Amino acid sequence: MEKGEERGVKFYSSKEAEMDTEVFFNKEMRTNRDLSAIAAKVYSRKIDEEMRICDALAASGIRGMRYTDSGKVWMNDANPSAIEAMKKGLEENDLDAEVSEQDTNVFLSQSKNFYHFVDIDPYGSFVNFLDSAARATHHNGFAGFSATDNAAPAGSYPTVCQRRYGSKPLKNSFMHETGLRIYLKEVFENYARYDKAFDPKICWHERHYTRIMGRVTESKQRCNNSLENIGYISHCSNCGWRKLERIDECPRCETETQKAGPLWIGKIADRRFTQEMLKEIPEEWEDSVELLEKVHGEAEIVTPYYDIHELCSKHKLQVPKLEEVIESLEQTGYPVSPTHFCPTGIRTDAPLDDVLDIIKIQSE
Ligand SMILES: C[S@@+](CC[C@H](N)C(=O)[O-])C[C@H]1O[C@@H](n2cnc3c(N)ncnc32)[C@H](O)[C@@H]1O
């Protein structure tokens, strides 16, 4: 095993973890761990006892060790080499945590309503761990789910998506937002079965993974109220119009729309929570700060984002500067923001005709 370090925490992992017996570590997931650690810290202040944190698929234990400054940590993995790595890491950093070597579903099922913070960071999809995670989460808790099977809910494998998540995806310029909303629906519905309401606090997509994080509150009423956040996306592939509603005909050009869903149609982040995270995150974590700022900026706008390049190509317009489109839309009073999903994207609740008018003026 080789020694590594992330944000000042030392850990042990296999050089190239290609087999199940080796200890997995992916440096590309640093932002996932950064934002998760900051979310844990922010949430720990909202409960009046020591936070009980569970890293249920811990591998090297880097994530769990980074959580230790927010509460008492339990780390679990079925791989004996991972257990060895976690113990070495804890000793190296002089940290305390409970370590266990069990199947994650068995491990979580022993602790009903126990953990204030549950982290599920598996290979591929989190669906196989959702049920036990929902049961193990405290009635006043928080949970985070990573998924790397993004090709399915982003529309490359619609049959897999239908089977795994019970939803129809759509492959288009905002497919990763559709995918994220399908994941979110799945998490919400699983918690709702246990009368626990899952309220998204910060969800994002980056490169090959999507992360869903939210607050869990045991309340039938909150679950019932949130049912209105489950619905469909309609999209017109002719003119680019889109709405988080099931509408069969495009109101702009009367083309039959394509629909994705059921999926989450509410907000995917809570601006008050992301504001608290912004205060907490060290400024030298530059990539993570940049991502967090974008997610924060677009938190209140629900309309799926527009890729300005795609829109211009569809309407045979010259591509204007993104900043100028944003500035002009701001001047008209519509909420508008860059989006973390796409470097050439904007998120706005302005009608598509207004967006196109502004692009036309900018590109003249
Ligand atoms: C993607 S890695 C976790 C990475 C880690 N959370 C991090 O941030 O570096 C997934 C881990 O889950 C473990 N695992 C997979 N299926 C499991 C199961 N059913 N029960 C327990 N551990 C499991 C694997 O051994 C592997 O270490």
For residue 1, report the distance from its CA to the centre of ligand 1, in Å.
17
**Whether the CB of 33 sits within 6 Å of ligand 1:** yes
Mean pLDDT over 178-203 rounds to 98
| pLDDT of the residue at 306 | 98
pLDDT greater than 90 at residue 268: yes
Mean pLDDT over 296-320 rounds to 97
| pLDDT of the residue at 17 | 64
Burial class (CB in 10 A: 0-12, 13-18, 19+), 237: middle
Can you read off the two tokens belonging to residue 334?
Answer: 């519509």
Can you read off the two tokens belonging to residue 177?
Answer: 């937002």
Q: How many CB atoms lie within 10 A of CB 52?
A: 19
- The CA distance from 344 to 306, in Å, is 8
Can you read off the two tokens belonging to residue 268?
Answer: 């995917």
pLDDT in tens, 311-347: 999 999 999 999 999 999 999 999 999 999 999 999 9
> What contacts 243, CB < 8 A, 6 or more positions away?
233, 234, 303
What ligand 1 atom has the least distance to the C-alpha of 77? Answer: 22
Of the pLDDT bands very low, low, confident and very high (cuts 50, 70, 90), residue 16 is: confident
Place of tokens 């288009």: 172
Cα angle 113-115-120, degrees, rounded to a multiple of 5: 110
What ligand 1 atom has the least distance to the C-alpha of 23? Answer: 27
pLDDT in tens, 20-74: 779 999 999 999 999 999 999 999 999 999 999 999 999 999 999 999 999 999 9
What ligand 1 atom has the least distance to the C-alpha of 57? Answer: 12
Mean pLDDT over 284-295 rounds to 98
Tell me how long the chain is.
364
- The CA distance from 80 to 275, in Å, is 40
In the chain the first and final C-alpha atoms are separated, in Å, by 59
Place of tokens 């489109």: 325
Helices (H), 147-302: 158-165, 175-192, 220-226, 271-280, 286-297
ipTM for the complex shown = 0.99
With H, G, I as helix, E, B as strand and everything else as coil, classify residue 268.
coil
Mean pLDDT over 167-186 rounds to 98
For residue 257, report the distance from its CA to the centre of ligand 1, in Å.
40
With H, G, I as helix, E, B as strand and everything else as coil, classify residue 5.
strand
- The CA distance from 154 to 310, in Å, is 17
pLDDT greater than 70 at residue 180: yes
Cβ proximity of 63 and 55 under 8 Å: yes
Cα-based distances in Å from 147 to 127, 141, 206, 298: 9, 20, 11, 22
Can you read off the two tokens belonging to residue 19?
Answer: 């087999």
- The CA distance from 276 to 296, in Å, is 10
**Whether the CB of 322 sits within 6 Å of ligand 1:** no
**Whether the CB of 123 sits within 6 Å of ligand 1:** yes
| pLDDT of the residue at 255 | 98
pLDDT in tens, 82-140: 999 999 999 999 999 999 999 999 999 999 999 999 999 999 999 999 999 999 999 99
* Residue from 12, 77, 125, 127 to probe ligand 1 pocket by mutation (most atoms less than 8 Å from CB): 77
- Rounded (10°) CA dihedral 91, 76, 149, 218: -120
| pLDDT of the residue at 85 | 98
Kind and range of the H or E run holding 170: none
For residue 57, report the distance from its CA to the centre of ligand 1, in Å.
4
| pLDDT of the residue at 78 | 97
Going along the chain from its start, the domains and CATH numbers come out as 2-297 (3.40.50.150), 306-363 (3.30.56.70)
Mean pLDDT over 128-155 rounds to 98
Mean pLDDT over 234-241 rounds to 98
Of the pLDDT bands very low, low, confident and very high (cuts 50, 70, 90), residue 362 is: confident
